[in-house]
Amino acid sequence: MKSQTLASLLIIFAIGAAGAVGYVAWTRSPSYALHEAGAAFRQHDLATFQRYVDTERVTGRFVDDMFSSFTDEAKKDSNPFSGLAVGMFMMMRPQVAKLAQESFERAVESGTLDAETKEDQKANPAKVAEPYWTPAVENRSGYRGISYVKKQGKIAVAGLEIFDSDLRKSFIAELKLRDLGDHWQVAEIANVKDLQRQFQKATQDRLDQLNTPIRAQLASIIRFDSVSGSTSTGEYGFERKCVLSASIKNISSRAIREFRFAVKFVDSGGEEIGVMRCVGSGWPAGSLFSLSWTRDINQFDAADMKLFNGITGARAVPEVTGVSFEDGTAIEQRTSVRALSSG
């Protein structure tokens, strides 16, 4: 009897010890850190949240990645003033990072990313995350939870699923955590640039989807009989212009007050060399008209010079982007998917 009692006590002790070891292991895991950070966020407990999320580092790296994307685009631009713009942004970096951190921490405490002043509101880079700040409920934008946690040594990566209702698509923000010994802490969002590319592509895909029926409507209103491009140069060679000539007909039964269109010019190899955007106005139903539009060329801008040097003889691909009728109605291609949320 005593031996059975001793055996039972040993089993209970072993189970309890295993449970204690398991609990300690759990509290020192990346998943536990994410669990506690989430609980602190919901309870607006900033002190606990900061234990598991390095708010200064996370926002600082986020701002750095955003600035890096801007400078990468600026470096592609041959405009001599682009370097100055990059320099000004880099000088502003500390203030922007501090503003982002303060907004982030205030959001944990209050549940909102709204800044104290309208000026800070506009300049706040953390506002990018605002649609995904709350749980995704009933297909609204927000976060849907942790999809995976991958641990390798003292570094771990967790995939946070975020859903965008306007794009109707989910994305994964990868949170990088580091082992601080007695607990793990989120140190950065590891794939900011990749997320930007994914959002840009998804936005363009969604816009194309939304605009397909609108383009069909516009094509039944305006017909381009001929479109061509040429150039003109001033007397001393300094003033340069691209000239677009077009013969266009209003094939609808309504008078047009104004219409907007874009013409993409493509070379013999199929490469786009540039785009001209134009506005026309005042045409009765069924009228045919021929007009020219000009665009001044900046000789220090590589994109402008590419169009200037290649527009003559290039294939012109026109597309109407919007029409306003004399009766006050209008048909416009969408330029933003976000308009769906407010409409």
pLDDT tens for residues 276-287?
A: 999 998 889 999
Query: What is the structure's pLDDT at 106?
Result: 87
Any idea which of 4-18, 45-59, 279-293 has the lowest mean pLDDT?
4-18
Is residue 218 within 8 A of residue 283, CB to CB? The reply is no
Go through the domains of the chain in sequence order and give each one's CATH number: 220-334 (2.60.40)
Compute the average pLDDT of residues 71-97.
64
Residue 297: per-residue pLDDT: 93
DSSP 7-76: HHHHHHHHHHHHHHHHHHHHHTSHHHHHHHHHHHHHTT-HHHHHHHB-HHHHHHHHHHHHHHHHHHHHHH
Tens of pLDDT, residues 105-141: 888 888 776 655 554 555 566 666 667 767 778 888 8
CA atoms within 13 A on the CB side of 336: 6
Instruction: Name the residue among 249, 233, 184, 220 with its Cα closest to residue 28.
Output: 184
Virtual torsion, Cα 108, 110, 115, 117, nearest 10 deg: -150
pLDDT computed for residue 307 by the predictor: 95
Cβ contact 35:53 at 8 Å:
no
pLDDT at 57: 93
Helix (H, G, I), strand (E, B) or coil at 101: helix
Q: Would you state the structure tokens that stand for residue 143, as one six-digit string?
A: 């976060």
Q: Please give the model's pTM, rounded to 2 decimal places.
A: 0.75
Place of tokens 């200064």: 56
pLDDT band at 343; cut points 50, 70, 90: very low
- Cα-Cα-Cα-Cα dihedral sign, residues 75, 77, 78, 83: negative
Who contacts 21 (Cβ-Cβ below 8 Å, separation ≥6)? none
